[in-house]
Structure 1
Amino acid sequence: MRLSTDLPPAAADGGLRALSSAANHSVLWIGLAAGMGLARGRPRRAAIRGLLSVAGASAISNAILKPLLPRRRPPAGTVEFANRRGLPAPTSSSFPSGHAASAAAFATGVALEHPALGAALVPVAAAVAYSRVHTGVHWPTDVVAGAAVGSAVAFATRRWWAVREQGAATLGPDRTTQALPDGDGLVVFVNPGSGSDDDGIRGEIEEALPAATIVEFDADRDFGEQIDAVIASHGPKALGVCGGDGTIVTVASASVRHDLPLAVFPGGTLNHFARDAGVGDLASTAEAIADGTAELVDLGKVRVDGGEEATFVNTASLGGYPDSVRLREQWQPRLGKWPAAALAMARVLASAEPLAVTIDGVEHSVWMLFVGNGRYTPTDQVPMSRPEIHRGTLDVRYLLADRRFSRLRLIAAALTGTLGSAVTYVHADTPNVTIEITGIPVALATDGEVVADGRRFEFRSEPQGVTLYRGR
């Protein structure tokens, strides 16, 4: 086999030597991840997954495979070769290439979260891998094996950190409803305290739907009463809402009461419902309003201690789950959703007190309980995505406290992504579930807000509960 030292001088010699050195100790990948992390959302998640993949690939390659599979480095070249492009040969085993493993791990990990960024990184990763052969410190098979290890580790991260599904959820059947050209007959309620750029979003709505009526909520008055008063005075043909999930559920409840279609414009901090339902694009929603194209969407309902039913569009929870959600959302901008969710759950479990409950007539002791409107995925990890909001089902999950060492087992499962195989974790899809608390009343949180205390909670799905404008 022809050695790298036998190859003639090339213009790329200096660049490949510098690139190979830049990847020492994964400095190159850490720097790229830091730059990607400045952008929220998918780029930041991609950076975190990439670095976690690098950490795993580096540990496996350098701490396990190299000692187990010793191999000599390629023979040293001439002094001229060393001065031109050679690198000092490391003393560790040549097989596999740790640089190639880290390069492939980072590029693959990033691609799983953000395919476009991953594609841009592939040439860089390939150049780093090749540079190890070009500079004379690795055999080609070392690089191939290292790249295989890195890619495998990156794909393996999906087992304990699922890749978020990017597509919109499947909703109910299509429905032709009120066509409102320019938004004529539409009343849009805007929550100025939603944490978004209210003036900017309001201006976009007014530009896209010039005939619509825009109403700002008065934060000092009950939102539901304000909605009913506006409906009585304006007689709208449809309702719109610009705000976070808490505001959306209030207007959605009014649209159901008054049998009016609903338009959603994301104006909150996280906008879970708008993202999942696929109505995050204002222009597309405005077009659907003008054309009268809509789909039916399920709603979640809960009755507390026999009172009136309340609506939720995303999730409801009891026990420590509301606290874990608050911590996750506080840490998520810095850490990404899965790391923040896992650490938040571990933090809450470390100090939580179990709840004595009866779930559909069966007694349990639980740490926390989650009820989702629609089907969430993955089923064996922290809920990340919602591919369906149309089958009339609730996604029910709870963490059992009546198993030996349940707290430690759940903390370990949360941090390692093995929740689905833990005997302390229960998941079921069901149209309804009744939870009764033994002891003092506990807080119920719906759509991220604590709404009531009670001892008996009757949850059900309301199939096709609201007509939602959505482009096709």
Structure 2
Amino acid sequence: MRSPRDLDARLHSYVGSLPTTPADRWLRRLSAFADRGKLWFLVALVVGSRRGPLRRGAIRGVGSMLFSSAVVNVVLKRVFGRVRPDLENLQTHRRLRREPGSLSFPSGHSSSAAAFVTGLAMESPAAGAALAPLALGVGYSRVHVGVHYPGDVLAGLAVGGAVAAASQHWWARRPMQPARVRPTSAAPALPGGEGLVVAVNPRSGPDEYDPAEDIRRLLPRAEVLEMSEERGVAELLGEAAASGRASALGVAGGDGSVAAAAAVALEHGLPLAVIPAGTLNHFARDVGLHTPQDAVDAVLAGQAVKVDVAEVNGTPFLNTSSIGAYPEMVRRRDRMAARLGKWLALSVAAAQVLRTGTPVELEVNGDRLRTWILFIGNCTYTPRGLAPAYRPRLEDGLLDVQYLRADLRFGRTRAVLATLLGVSEHARSYGHFAAAEVRVVARTGPERVAYDGEMGEPATEFLFRKREPLTVYCCRTR
């Protein structure tokens, strides 16, 4: 009975003896273009240009590809130590210009292909299915040009797919259904947007997108006001609400702008139209608003829901608030954003805080904590851990408290990374609980608080609690 290695060698020899066809040249080019993930980085740039599932899939795919490449090349190839096939009898026109000098098992090209396409498919099944033949083509091309045995390719595909699937552990897929909300609340239907006053952040979203122009097109009778350095959301909408000319308020911007608009809407008892125009749109996505058209449809139909709102020292927030390392990251990000751009500035700020940050001494509902980060969420987030998450409910009446302890022998960087990678549930440094009200005392002096990506004033005492629900325009199917 032949061993698996013998069968592998025979299959490799059989592929090598196939007659010459025009496909030889294209398979060789495909194999070469997939070197160092060039093919998949290019695909990620293309599909990632579209916001939503495609962009999230591109990010998940690239992350999975990079991790699987490290697992294969740094760990598995050294463990198995299998050498490359002998190319002595391979047809010359099939050979790569540069033959790889690394070990053979598993195939890194195949692992990267499977990791990227599986990661993409987890967010956009249609895009993943469309690119699956390309991933299989990359895997087969490695056998066709002679540099891998078929077993190497199968193992690489399995490793890449497993790594991408495991990314669900630290970056949970957002469910298709929106969060649960309170029963539908009455809100006025506004034909053409008449009576709606919308504050627009012109810097939100992609550079080529003009949210104000888009809203004027979709709601021609709405009053659209653009924010400026002198007049922000609170000033624009507060004036409109106080004058009595607004039947409803609207906001197009990121989560910070939405939270500011929610404060005005609550103060004046008006419904709020949230038009997704920011980079992340955490609140809009949780409530079920994925595109500007979703909000427009609800405004025209007069359909709305009620959702929980939290506050810290009287300032409302819709997503999360935090004390410790994250507010310091936000402060440093804002200082560098104009020069570096928001995302690069955040990366640099995170690196600086991880290197130089110090823990904070807090008293949380009477318990003393020495912590790196304290998060307070509006409603309970899942999965546990300080990684990207979502809320299955927006009406549970609870505050979600999560913190990263600094009083244990668990290094700062290691603790933060362990939590962000989703292993915090098993790390002694991580803690969490839920409560209707949370009192926090900073025991070593004033601390900054961040909420929905904005910075608050330093204080030594913080009161987190729920306030009256917010009416938000939204069409729900369930």
- TM-score range, shorter-chain basis? 0.7 to 0.9
Cα 1:99/1:192, change in 2 over 3 Å:
closer
Tell me whether 1:83 sits opposite 2:88 in the alignment. Answer: no
Correspondent of 2:250 among 225, 237, 240: 240
Q: Is the 8 A contact 1:398 1:425 kept in 2?
A: yes
The residue number in structure 2 matching 1:450 is: 455
Cα 1:95/1:174, change in 2 over 3 Å:
same
Output one character per residue of 1:292-344: Cα deviation in whole Å (capped at 9) or x when no partner.
111111101222xxxxx22112222222221234567879xx9998x998885
The residue number in structure 2 matching 1:312 is: 317
Question: How many angstroms apart in 2 are the aligned matches of 1:214 and 1:136?
Answer: 63
Question: How many angstroms apart in 2 are the aligned matches of 1:208 and 1:38?
Answer: 23
The residue number in structure 2 matching 1:124 is: 134
Cα 1:156/1:190, change in 2 over 3 Å:
closer
The residue number in structure 2 matching 1:112 is: 122
Aligned length: 461
**Counterpart of 1:456 in structure 2: which amino acid?**
E
Consecutive unaligned residues of structure 1, counting only runs of 5 or more, are 304-308
Question: How many angstroms apart in 2 are the aligned matches of 1:293 and 1:244?
Answer: 22
Question: How many angstroms apart in 1 are the aligned matches of 2:164 and 2:245?
Answer: 56
Tell me whether 1:466 sits opposite 2:465 in the alignment. Answer: no
Task: Tell me whether 30-39 or 114-123 shows the greater mean CA deviation.
Answer: 30-39
DSSP-derived class of the 1:96 partner = coil
**Counterpart of 1:185 in structure 2: which amino acid?**
G
The residue number in structure 1 matching 2:155 is: 145
C-alpha displacement of 1:413 = 1.9
Correspondent of 1:185 among 185, 195, 203: 195
Consecutive unaligned residues of structure 2, counting only runs of 5 or more, are 1-9
Correspondent of 1:374 among 376, 379, 399: 379
TM-score by length of 2: 0.81
Tell me whether 1:9 sits opposite 2:12 in the alignment. Answer: no
Q: Is the 8 A contact 2:437 2:463 kept in 1?
A: yes
Q: For the aligned residues, what is the CA RMSD?
A: 3.7
Q: Is the 8 A contact 2:199 2:236 kept in 1?
A: no
Cα 1:137/1:124, change in 2 over 3 Å:
same
Q: Is the 8 A contact 1:5 1:77 kept in 2?
A: no
Aligned residue runs from structure 1 range 114-263, under 5 A: 114-164=124-174, 168-191=178-201, 200-215=210-225, 220=230, 224=234, 227-263=237-273
Correspondent of 1:323 among 308, 325, 328: 328
Question: How many angstroms apart in 1 are the aligned matches of 2:176 and 2:428?
Answer: 30
Question: How many angstroms apart in 1 are the aligned matches of 2:211 and 2:36?
Answer: 45
Q: Is the 8 A contact 1:57 1:149 kept in 2?
A: yes
Question: How many angstroms apart in 1 are the aligned matches of 2:375 and 2:223?
Answer: 37
Tell me whether 1:428 sits opposite 2:433 in the alignment. Answer: yes
The residue number in structure 1 matching 2:398 is: 393
Question: How many angstroms apart in 2 are the aligned matches of 1:412 and 1:118?
Answer: 29
Tell me whether 1:272 sits opposite 2:282 in the alignment. Answer: yes
Cα 1:19/1:450, change in 2 over 3 Å:
closer
Q: Is the 8 A contact 1:434 1:456 kept in 2?
A: yes
Task: Tell me whether 44-53 or 290-299 shows the greater mean CA deviation.
Answer: 44-53
Tell me whether 1:281 sits opposite 2:291 in the alignment. Answer: yes
**Counterpart of 1:236 in structure 2: which amino acid?**
A
Q: Is the 8 A contact 2:65 2:113 kept in 1?
A: yes
Tell me whether 1:50 sits opposite 2:55 in the alignment. Answer: no
Q: Is the 8 A contact 1:45 1:336 kept in 2?
A: no
Cα 1:59/1:249, change in 2 over 3 Å:
closer
Q: Percent of counterpart pairs with the same letter?
A: 43
Q: Is the 8 A contact 1:315 1:372 kept in 2?
A: yes
Correspondent of 1:96 among 106, 116, 120: 106
DSSP-derived class of the 2:182 partner = coil
DSSP-derived class of the 2:30 partner = helix
The residue number in structure 2 matching 1:19 is: 30
TM-score by length of 1: 0.82
Tell me whether 1:365 sits opposite 2:370 in the alignment. Answer: yes
The residue number in structure 2 matching 1:383 is: 388
Cα 1:381/1:328, change in 2 over 3 Å:
farther
Cα 1:235/1:419, change in 2 over 3 Å:
same
Question: How many angstroms apart in 2 are the aligned matches of 1:256 and 1:89?
Answer: 66
Question: How many angstroms apart in 2 are the aligned matches of 1:286 and 1:34?
Answer: 30
Q: Is the 8 A contact 2:200 2:226 kept in 1?
A: yes
